[in-house]
Amino acid sequence: MSYPALTGEQPELSTVQDRLSPPCRHLASGPWSAYLVGDELARISYAGRPVLRAVKAVVRDQDWRTPPARLRSVEVTEDHAGLHVRWLVEFTGYGVEYNGVLTALFTRDRLNIEFEGTAALPFRRNRIGLVVLHPPTDAGRGVVVDHPDGGTTQALFPHAISPHQPFMDIAALNWSDAGTAFRLSFSGEVFETEDQRNWTDASYKTYGTPLARPFPVDVAAGDTVRQSVLLQATTQEPADPVPSAAAIDVVTARLGGQAGRVPGLAVAAGTDPELLPGIPSLDAFLVELVEKPGDSPRRGWAAQLQAAAAAAAVQGAGLDIRATTPDPVGAVADLAPYLARAKRLAVFHPASHVTGPDTWPELKAAVREAGYEGELLAGSRSHFTELNRNSGRMPSEPDALTFSITPQMHSTEVAHIVESVPMQRIAAQNALRLGGGRPLHVGPVTLLPRFNAVATSGAAEEAEADELQPHPFAAAWLLASISALTVDGVESVTYFEASGPRGISDRSGRLYPAGRLLKELAGLRGAAVLSVDGDTGPVSLYPVQSPAGTVVFAGNLSASAVGVEICLVDGKAVRQRLALEPWSAVVVRFPASG
């Protein structure tokens, strides 16, 4: 048995440590419990049972970018009225300077949260104010929506990912859980709810300023926003107490039979695909070709195609072409020299970011005439959101579907990035449902967005790099993502870029921890993935059966070291203990017996 850790040179620790270990303060008053994590009031529970994922204030600029929030100060006091919390937040970035004051008052049966925000400088906004994040476990829960006009609507938190807002025109939401009735009322704005699982966020979000209103809106220096939410709890039938969750020091897991197969693993070519060191059995280099407004048609495409095709030839990998152009048929001539070598091709419109149905028959005929014999994909170059909202407009007969993933469309906090992983599986399952059983090719999957799919200003931006990319965190997150996307019908997943700050290797050809993990797993494509029985908490276990034996990939997506006891059953039971450092991944090999 071998047990190498996937570690590497650490990036600048100050910023990374701030993100991996944000300030966290536990707040408890009577039956209420919550945590002030950075600027958000998180993990709100009542009588030991989770009620809300979080309440926080957000500022969204004209391009739906979220200026980072910095917690400036916190005051906590308690008196006869209850527990008082006051925290100051500064939102700075993208030309925005905005100051917020939030207060929370916990009493026996109420939690009242108020926000007052003031602009220090003029800017254009799409949204300012409080948002409430409901946990994804609310799926299927009945709710009564109170409207501002006094009317009510009975509804459900959706099971399938809802393409549009499931609740509109909200004054209050009412529901019951475990013998307690909850009422969540809003003031200062009309609210509505969207299903954030569309973007792989682990929440439904209730927010102010309905999307039907015009945006963006000018904000003058000194303009103020005031909003509040009131959560009331009325116990109808006392439920059994819920024991406090203990910290997980050791997890125990038993490996079972086959649960899936390792999908094909690919990388985006990026700008320097030739710098990627050898990765045997790499599925493909995905090259993104984007026709930008104001440029000559297909400017720079030939050089990108040549670089990606050359790197693919050296690696023995396939070529996956994703083209964004208003003229799909006209672009075929530019793609033609490389189509015979390509295994996948998808074309998207630059305005909608999805495959256009109108030109599909001509596109299909043109690429086949040009010698293309691979899969012709339809879908979205951005989030599952666009695929979900345009599923009725997709071409009727694609060979497969595709969409991309980033966990940081709305939140950059590490907790949200981690919690997004199980939502990837839900998004993939929903995409397979929409595709009627057609194969699914997911990606690129990146930590930060590759582009802004919802910008209103039209300004193009260079994709940003996350300082977590070279950190072992990225390897642990990659492993959890691959595990989540190991679903029947998911044929391939493309991750990150080949090299550079958004890549799996540096520009000297040294693989980052995420690159080393991907290299290990790419060579196991098609191998059986075994089931895992047991609650593994923050630990991802991905056991793969190969001719040489069983390879167990283990990752820890938490800030604490965790011990793992694995029970491997292969003729006889074998137990193995290993220790996982915080935010790390390891590989354990059990040679085949006999």
pLDDT value of position 455: 87
pTM: 0.95
pLDDT digits (tens, 9 = 90+) for 487-526: 999 999 999 999 999 999 999 999 999 999 999 999 999 9
Nearest-10 Cα torsion for 350, 352, 356, 358:
-100
Q: What is the pLDDT of residue 246?
A: 60
Instruction: Tell me the chain's radius of gyration from C-alpha atoms.
Output: 25
- For 475-510, give the secondary structure using H, E and C: HHHHHHHHHHCCCCCEEEEEEEECCCCCECECCCCC
- Per-residue model confidence as pLDDT tens digits over 375-420: 999 999 999 999 999 999 999 899 999 999 999 999 999 999 999 9
| Secondary structure of 348-413 as H, E, C letters | ECCCCCECCCCCHHHHHHHHHHCCCCCEEEEEECCCHHHHHHCHHHCCCCCCEEEEEECCCCCCCC
The pLDDT value given to residue 1: 47
Q: What is the pLDDT of residue 457?
A: 82
Is it true that the peptide bond before 407 is cis, omega within 30 degrees of 0?
A: no
* Alpha helices (H) in 509-559, listed in sequence order: 513-522
Reading the block at residue 501, the tokens are 């700050």
Does a cis peptide bond (omega within 30 degrees of 0) precede residue 216? Answer: yes
Phi first, then psi: give them for residue 329, nearest 5 degrees. Answer: -70, -40
Question: pLDDT tens digits for the chain (594 residues)?
Answer: 455 667 665 555 568 888 999 999 999 999 999 999 999 999 999 999 999 999 999 999 999 999 999 999 999 999 999 999 999 999 999 999 999 999 999 999 999 999 999 999 999 999 999 999 999 999 999 999 999 999 999 999 999 999 999 999 999 999 999 999 999 999 999 999 999 999 999 999 999 999 999 999 999 999 999 999 999 999 877 666 666 566 678 899 999 999 999 999 999 999 999 999 999 999 999 999 999 888 889 999 999 999 999 999 999 999 999 999 999 999 999 999 999 999 999 999 999 999 999 999 999 999 999 999 999 999 999 999 999 999 999 998 999 999 999 999 999 999 999 999 999 999 999 999 999 989 999 999 999 999 999 988 876 567 889 999 999 999 999 999 999 999 999 999 999 999 999 999 999 999 999 999 999 999 999 999 999 998 899 999 999 999 889 999 999 999 999 999 998 876 556 777 889 999 999 999 988 875
- What 8-state DSSP symbol labels residue 162? P
The reported pLDDT for the residue numbered 519 is 98
> Which tokens belong to 61?
């600029």
* Structural domains present in the chain: 31-235 (2.70.98.10), 260-525 (3.20.20.80)
**Residue 576 confidence (pLDDT):** 79
Q: At what angle do helices 472-484 and 414-434 cross, to 10 degrees?
A: 30
Angle at 63 between CA 62 and CA 69, to 5 degrees: 85
Tens of pLDDT, residue by residue over 218-276, are 999 999 999 999 999 998 776 666 665 666 788 999 999 999 999 999 999 999 999 99
d(CA 441, CA 402) in angstroms, rounded, equals: 5
